[in-house]
Chain A
Amino acid sequence: MQNALELVYWIPLLPLLGFLINGLGRRYLSKSLISIIGCSVIFASFILSCWVFMEVKGGNSHVAEYFNFISVGKLIIPFAFQVDALSSLFLLIITGVGFIIHVYSTSYMKEEKPEHFGRYFSFLNLFIFSMLLLVMGANYVIMFMGWEGVGLCSYLLIGYWFKNNDFNKAANKAFIMNRIGDLGFLIAVFWLIAKTGTVTYADVFANVSKLNSTDATVITLLLFIGAAGKSAQIPLYTWLPDAMAGPTPVSALIHAATMVTAGIYMIARSNVLYSLSPLSMNVVAVVGLATAILAATIALKQNDIKKVLAYSTVSQLGFMFLALGVGAYSAAVFHVMTHAFFKALLFLAAGSLIHAMSGEQDICNMGGLSKKIKITYITFLIGCIAIAGIPPFSGFFSKDAILLSAFENNKILYVVALFGAGLTAFYMFRLLFVAFTGNFRGTEEQRHNVHESPASMTIPLIVLAILSIIGGFVGIPEVFMQGGEKLNEFLAPVIPLKTEHLVSQATELSLMGLSTATGVAAVVFAWFFFRNYKRSEAGGLGKILENKWYVDELYGKIIVNPLNKLGDFFNSVFEGRVIDSIVNGVGKVVNYTSRQLRLLQSGQVGNYILLMVLSMVLIFVLQFFLRK
């Protein structure tokens, strides 16, 4: 049964076809046809991915080479797909969650004009295509193509409502921030080519001995810059909250479940390189943890529901980087998976909530919705419990795996991470209580219009809620169940298993108890403070948090403003004086000389002949001298 793995090229090809059909036919196809095409191609990819996953689970892996993508001198970069444990798991997440979000989008976006509806679905399909390219590529160059593709789609979808200039600015911000990271990635790839002469994963990892420790550190740090851009880590995280300008399903798909985890995938894929450089590992861990805490503190005081979720995503990504940094690659991948479930769920539920509130995003104007939109409320609650890390929901297992690895590595990291986990539980339940309990604080018209979303939106919510509940069991720790941690075992071909357990079972259990207690305590606090929320002015630290630590303002001051000033300088001085005077000068010289030369053309034949004769004489004389 090798043929499933030989058909892998259909997995990205189908979304590409969907993109082409929907994109080219957006003016001619009806909305229902567009949704059918858009969803069915992803569903077909999902079925294929399941098939491939089964094959890989049976112990197969496959590298399919199609043609030479670049061939220069000794460097040959094949266009090849690699299907192994890591990529097949990502395939499932991308196509599975992607399909659910496509279905959800069909009704979330139904108010759009057919043309824009087609544009939306074609971008969504293109995104899935790029993301599949990213995870399936068998070398860094194919990964980079997918990497740029998802960046492009992210830009296009954030700026989907392009008539709003703020949204366009958010799209630009996301794209530019990503470019900074991409440059790091690109330099890392060049460095790899210079040192190992190849970019194919298998060859690079077989040739790591050619890299000395400096090379390994620089390459991994550069790769991490790329990952920090794509996965919104300090210092490049500020684009992600602004990216919430896009439609909510886009936020769920791109800015929570899939694209932002590309950085995690890249580092997990390059784990062989990272293992060579303890320094890079520490940098990754510290940056990840710092991001987790910073974003969590900001999320405490945000009132836009999507902003809270965005900062929560940044924070969770920070946790994943922490896991990568302490060497627990499979824990990071595990958290990617569970996070994809519960964060997609939270975003979609938030979308349903926004839908119910006629476009209202400010939680201060909500409240008391739990009875009116039950399904949304319950699924949102499940998502919150999952992200808060309360057993037996999926977030508990993955977050605990991360905390445990942090504990094994460094106690300080553990304590800070635990604090971050508590913050997570607190701000998520603050969101829940403010939005769903207490009194309704919106306008009378909004109150009148509150309604549960249609089935095509609630069913995806229910499916994701179920996944959020049970998704954690694939990585259930061995202390609970003999032969647990199936995920680690599955990922073993790509990510080497850690055989020994550094801590005793008793310690492990007590750590779990501690983190659960922290989560529950945070929930209780949140309930205490926010069950009857009333809007109040924040002061002191609260104001700083509300303004996101003034990071955007800081970036504005130290980077954007100087660049603008420089631009103004070049515009007024350099452009005006230097460029313009060169251009005008050329014109003036030509004008002047031609005015003078014009006098030669007297119209007198004799003059012409005289000139001719003189020139001939000159040529003879010159020739006479030059021949010597």
Chain B
Amino acid sequence: MPVNYYIFLSIALFCIGIAGVLTRRNAIIIFMCIEIMLNAVNLMLVAFSKMHHLKNAAVDATAGSDGQIFVFFIMVVAAAEVSVGLAIIVMMYRNIHSVDVNFLNRLKH
């Protein structure tokens, strides 16, 4: 499959993520949208690394493999981040009984 498809998919996912973050007020939805953006980037990274591999495999058998490894790392870190983020949301719910980010403007004053 040409790499274009992956790029379009990735851009679409990223824009969905941005739109979600900008429009929604529910912290969990925003969080999910952030994850979508993160995975859009991951997808892009994998796609390019694959493309790179196909192009240079004749010269170097391991070409592009570092991109794949990065993605694994990002997924691990993202998993950790999700747990922290969800914990924050849980604490937020406990404190203000809501997950609406617009209630979280107390730092302003």
Interface residues of A (CB under 8 A from B): 601-606, 609-610, 613
Contact = CB atoms under 8 A, between A and B. Distances in A.
A594 to B, nearest CB: 16
Contact of A613 (B18, B25, B102, B106): B18
Contact of B101 (A602, A606, A613): A606
A605 B18 contact: no
A601 B105 CA distance: 10
A603 B101 contact: no
Contacts of A610: 22
A603 B107 contact: yes
B108 A602 contact: yes
A555 B18 CA distance: 81
Contact of A605 (B23, B101, B109): B101
Interface string B18-51: 1001110100000000000000000000000000
A469 B80 CA distance: 108
A602 B102 CA distance: 10
Nearest to A610: B22
A603 B22 contact: no
A610 B22 CA distance: 6
A605 to B, nearest CB: 5
B18 A604 contact: no
Interface of B: 18, 21-23, 25, 101-102, 104-109
B22 A604 contact: no
B105 A606 contact: no
A439 B97 CA distance: 112
A621 to B, nearest CB: 16
B26 to A, nearest CB: 12
Contacts of B101: 605-606
A69 to B, nearest CB: 63
Nearest to B107: A603
Nearest to B109: A603
Contacts, number: 25
B25 A603 contact: no
A606 B108 contact: no
25 contacts: A601-B108, A602-B105, A602-B108, A603-B105, A603-B106, A603-B107, A603-B108, A603-B109, A604-B102, A604-B105, A605-B101, A605-B102, A605-B104, A605-B105, A606-B21, A606-B22, A606-B23, A606-B25, A606-B101, A606-B102, A609-B21, A609-B22, A610-B22, A613-B18, A613-B22
Given A603-B108, A606-B23, A606-B101, 11 more contacts: A602-B105, A604-B102, A605-B101, A605-B102, A605-B104, A606-B21, A606-B25, A606-B102, A609-B21, A610-B22, A613-B18
B14 to A, nearest CB: 11
A610 B109 CA distance: 21
A109 B98 CA distance: 90
Contacts of A604: 102, 105
A615 to B, nearest CB: 13
Contacts of B105: 602-605
B98 to A, nearest CB: 14
Contacts of B18: 613
Nearest to B25: A606
Contacts of A601: 108
Contacts of B109: 603
B15 to A, nearest CB: 10
Contacts of B106: 603
Contacts of B108: 601-603
A603 B109 CA distance: 9
A399 to B, nearest CB: 92
Nearest to B18: A613
Contacts of B21: 606, 609
A606 B22 CA distance: 6
Contacts of B22: 606, 609-610, 613
Q: With a 10 A CB-CB cut-off, give which of A606, A610, A613 has the most chain B CB atoms.
A: A606
A459 B22 CA distance: 102
B107 to A, nearest CB: 7
B101 to A, nearest CB: 5
Nearest to B106: A603
A612 to B, nearest CB: 10
A113 B18 CA distance: 85
A613 B107 CA distance: 22
Contacts of A613: 18, 22
Contacts of B102: 604-606
Nearest to B101: A605
A606 B101 CA distance: 8
A557 B105 CA distance: 71
Contacts of A602: 105, 108
Contacts of A609: 21-22
Nearest to A601: B108
Contacts of A605: 101-102, 104-105
